[in-house]
Homo-oligomer: A and B are copies of this chain.
Amino acid sequence: MSPEDEDIELDVILSVLENPVRREILKRLSRETNYPLQLSKELNVSQQAIMKHLKVLEENDFVESTEEKSDKGGPPRKVYSPKRRYCIRIDIGPNTYQEEFYTYKKYDIVKKEFQESDVSYEKQIEIKGKVTGEMKDEVVAALPAFTDPDLEKIRIKLEEIVNETNYNVKINELKLLVQEIENNINTIETKRKRLLALKERTNQEINTLISHISMNQIEKDLLTLYIKTNTLDPNFLSEQLNVRKTIIEKTLDKLVNFIENKKD
C-alpha cells in the first residue's frame, strides 16, 4: 500500500467513524454479533437508519454479514459481526501534525512479523513455550515482543485463563487481567503524551531555527526534511520535494555554506 493509498483510506475511515451511531454500532458488535432489529431497539434508532449505517460499514469492510435461518420459519435474516482491526491515531499541536493509521486482517501481521524476524515460526513457539491452539490467532502475533516482562506476564496469565474450567475462578482472573492490561495501556499513554510534549517543543525549536536561517520556501522545506530524515541525497530530496535536482544541489550548497559560517 503506497502512502497515497493510505491517505485515501484514512479519509474514508474518518468519514465512516464521524457518525456517532456507526461508532455505537461498532461498539455493540465488538461485544456480540447482532441483528439490525436488535440494534434498532438497543440504540433507539429506526431500523431503516440502522440498515443504512450497516451498509456503509459493510461496504468499507468494518463489518461483515452472514445469513441465518429464522427459527420461526420466516425468511433468513442477516447477522452482523465486526471484521477488521483498525488503529487510528492523530496528534495535532501548534508545531506538530502527525497521523497514523494501520489496518490488518487476522494472520497478516503475524506472517509479516515472522517473515521479518530472524527466528523461524517453530523456533519462536518453542522459545515462548506451548501456545494453545485456540490462542494462536491473536496471541502468536505478539510473540516477538515477549522479551518484555509486562507482555510476557499477561500472555502467561491469559493462557492459564483459557484453560481454566471453573467459571467463578475464570471471571475473577479475567477481571484482574482486564485491569492489568488497562493499567499497562494507561502507563504507555502517559509516557506517549509526554514524548509528544517534548516533540512539540523540539519541532518549535526546529521551526524557529529554520525561519532564522532561510528565506524562501524551497530552503525551508529542504532544511525541515534534512533535519527530520537526516539525508543529504539530492535524488531523495528532489523526489520528496518535487523540485529539480539541480535546484536542490544549488540550494544545499548555499545552505551548507551559510550554516557553517553563521553564529546565532
A residues apposed to B, CB below 8 Å: 7, 11, 14-15, 17-20, 23, 26-27, 29-32, 42, 62, 81-97, 99-100, 135, 137-139, 141-142, 145, 148, 150-151, 154-155, 158, 161-162, 164-168, 170-171, 174-175, 177-179, 181, 184-185, 188-207, 209, 211, 213, 217, 220, 223-224, 226-228, 230, 259-260, 262-264
Contacts and interface: CB of A to CB of B under 8 A. Distances in A.
Contacts of A42: 217
Contacts of A85: 91-94, 96, 200
Given A30-B93, A175-B227, 19 more contacts: A14-B18, A17-B90, A29-B97, A42-B217, A62-B92, A87-B89, A88-B91, A138-B198, A141-B194, A142-B197, A158-B205, A161-B205, A167-B209, A171-B227, A174-B205, A175-B226, A178-B206, A188-B188, A188-B191
Contacts of A207: 31-32
A174 B209 contact: yes
Given A11-B19, A209-B171, A138 B30 contact: no
A168 B7 contact: no
B94 A32 contact: no
Q: Which 6 pairs across A and B sit closest by C-beta, in order of nearness? A: A165-B264, A14-B18, A30-B97, A142-B194, A138-B201, A27-B97
A204 to B, nearest CB: 7
Given A194-B151, A206-B174, A97 B26 contact: yes
Nearest to A106: B94
A85 B199 CA distance: 13
Contact of A88 (B89, B161, B178, B230): B89
Given A138-B204, A166-B263, A174 B90 contact: no
Nearest to A262: B167
